[in-house]
Amino acid sequence: MKLSFEKSRPGRFFPVMPELDVPEEKVPPELARAALPRLPEMSPPDISRHYSELARRTHGVNDGFYPLGSCTMKYNPKINDEMANLPGFTRIHPLQPEHTVQGCLEAMVRAGEMLCEITGMDAMTFQPAAGAHGEFTGVLLIKAYHASRGDGARTKIIVPDSAHGTNPATVSMTGFQAVNVPSDSSGCVDLDALRAAAGPDTAGLMLTNPNTLGLFDRNILEITRVIHDAGGLCYYDGANLNAIMGIARPGDMGFDVVHLNLHKTFSTPHGGGGPGSGAVGCKSLLAEFMPAPLAARRGGGYAFESPPQSVGRVSAFYGNFLVMARALTYIITIGGDGLRDAARNAVLNANYMMRRMSGAYDAAYPGTCMHEFVLSLDGLKREAGVSAMDVAKSLLDRRMHPPTMYFPMIVKEALMIEPTETESRETLDYAADAFLDIRLQAERDPEALRAAPVSTPVRRLDEVNAARHPKLRYNFG
Ligand SMILES: *Cc1c(COP(=O)(O)O)cnc(C)c1O
C-alpha cells in the first residue's frame, strides 16, 4: 500500500477553513515559517479511500476477537466517546480560569469519588498518563510518607515474581531496591519467603492482583498484614480491576495505594498506544502527598487544590482528561450492578474458554482462574516442534488477534488469554474451536503452522531487527 506522500499530486487539495471571527494577528517574523510544510496533497475521495484501506488492514475489537491478556480489549460503548466529544469537554484550555470550567472540575471530582468507592480509597488523581506512570506516582507517595516521618532506613520494596514487569521497573525508577519473592506451587505469593523478606528496611510491597497468572491471591489479607507489621505500606497494581470491580476492594484488603488503568477496565481501549489514564487512589494517610493540583469541592462549587506536602506535578496540567470523561460515563451508565456483572462475566468467560481447551492445551495453573488464564505450550513445543509464536501467528489466519505471548516470564511458552465480558458464547466457541483445530494441525501438519500467517499483508516479520533498527521516519530521498 502506498503512503499518502507517494499518492500526493501538487495542487490537488481542497482547503475548507472556517471564517476568521477574531481580530487577525500577524505572526512575528522570527516565529514564521521560512518554507511551507511538506504535506500530502490529495483529493477528498482519495483521502477517504486511503484511510478506509488503512482501517481494513488493522484489527480492532470492532473487527473480531481480541483476547490480549492483561490488556482487557473489550467492546467500549460508543456513548462514552460521544460524551467525551461534548464541546464543553473538548473546546477548553487548561489555563482557563476555574469559574469557566466548573463542569469539568465537577466531572473530575465525581469520577474520583466513584473510583474511590469502587477501590475503597479516600483520594484519587487523574494526572498519570498510563499504568506504569501511575505506579511511579503511587510509589512516590510511599516514599514521601516515610521521608515525612524521618524514616530513611526503608530502602527496599518487595515484588513477587508474578507481578507485572512494570512493578520492579517502577521500584528502580523511584530509587528503591526491588526484593523478589517467589510464588508457591499454587501460583500465589510464598508466605514464608515474604515473612523472611519483610523487615525494618521494607518501604512497602507492590502486588499485582489478580496476578499475571490470572489468579487472585487467597492469602491477600495475611500478605498486607505482614507488610504493615514490618512498618511498610502496600501498593495494589489494579490495572486488571476488570476481574474484581464491584466484588472486592483493594482498600478493604489492606492496601494503602492503588492505580487503575482506565484505558483497560473503564472504557478506553488499551494496546493501541493511544492516550491512557493511570488513575491513582490512596488512603487518607497518603492524601497530603498527592500530586498537585487536585480537583475538589469548595463551597457550592469546585476548585483546584494543592495537597500540603504534594510530591508535585507528575504531568502537565490534569492528565488525559477525556479518558476520565469516558470512564465517568461508563460508570454512570452501567451503574454499580453493571460493574459487578461485567466482572463476573469476565471471570465466567475466561473459565469457560479454559475448560473448553483443557484437553488439548496445558493450563499453567489449572483450577479456577480470574479474568484471564495462562497456557504453557512447552509440552507441545517439545512433542511437535510448534511454539507459542507459531500458534499465535496461526490465529491471525483465523481472523483473531493473538493472545499475549511469552508473558508472564515464569511460564515457559506462555500464551495469556483474556476474553473479556463483552464476548458472546458464540465468539468464545469460535475462538476455542480455532485453538483446538490448531492443536490437531500441530500433529498432522506442523510445517503449515510454522509458515503462518499466510493471509496477512506481511508474513512473519524480523522482530529483532524491527526492535533494534526501527525505521521511524519516511525517507523523502
Ligand atoms: C497493563 C498493565 C500495566 C501497565 O500499564 P500501562 O498503561 O501499559 O503502562 C501495569 N500492570 C499491569 C498488571 C498491567 O496489566
**Domains of the chain by range and CATH?**
79-333 (3.40.640.10), 336-467 (3.90.1150.10)
Q: Best of 164, 173, 270 to mutate for ligand 1, by most ligand atoms within 8 A of CB?
A: 164
| Nearest atom, ligand 1, residue 264 CA | 1
- Indicate whether residue 130 lines ligand 1 (CB < 6 A): yes
- Indicate whether residue 240 lines ligand 1 (CB < 6 A): yes
Residues 106, 109, 112, 113, CA torsion sign? negative
Per-residue pLDDT at 184 exceeds 90: yes
User: What is the helix (H) or strand (E) element at residue 425, kind and residue range?
Assistant: helix 425-444
- Count Cβ atoms within 10 A of the Cβ of residue 82 and give its class: 0-12 exposed, 13-18 middle, 19 or more buried: exposed
Closest to 266 (Cα-Cα) out of 323, 216, 348, 321: 323
pLDDT > 70: what percent of the chain? 99
What's the whole-number mean pLDDT along residues 446-469?
Answer: 93
Per-residue pLDDT at 322 exceeds 90: yes
Per-residue pLDDT at 143 exceeds 90: yes
What average pLDDT does the structure give for the chain?
95
215-237: pLDDT as tens digits: 999 999 999 999 999 999 999 99
* Cα–Cα distance, 361 to 352 (Å, whole number): 14
pLDDT value of residue 272: 64
pTM score, whole prediction = 0.93
Closest to 256 (Cα-Cα) out of 150, 161, 120, 117: 120
Per-residue pLDDT at 375 exceeds 80: yes
Closest-CA residue, ligand 1 atom 15, reads: 70
- Indicate whether residue 237 lines ligand 1 (CB < 6 A): yes
What's the whole-number mean pLDDT along residues 196-207?
Answer: 98
pLDDT > 90: what percent of the chain? 91
pLDDT value of residue 273: 66
User: How far is ligand 1, taken at its centre, from the CA of residue 166, in Å?
Assistant: 7
Position 140 confidence tier, pLDDT thresholds 50, 70, 90: very high
- Indicate whether residue 320 lines ligand 1 (CB < 6 A): no
Half-sphere exposure of 39 (CA within 13 A, CB side): 12
User: How far is ligand 1, taken at its centre, from the CA of residue 383, in Å?
Assistant: 34
Closest-CA residue, ligand 1 atom 2, reads: 239
Closest-CA residue, ligand 1 atom 4, reads: 131
Helix locations, 230-377, DSSP H: 262-265, 284-287, 321-357
Strands 362-363 and 373-376 turn out to be antiparallel
- Indicate whether residue 261 lines ligand 1 (CB < 6 A): yes
Total Cβ atoms within 10 A of residue 416: 25
What's the whole-number mean pLDDT along residues 10-30?
Answer: 88
270-308: pLDDT as tens digits: 866 678 999 999 999 999 999 999 999 999 999 999 999
- Indicate whether residue 164 lines ligand 1 (CB < 6 A): yes
Position 389 confidence tier, pLDDT thresholds 50, 70, 90: very high
| Nearest atom, ligand 1, residue 278 CA | 7
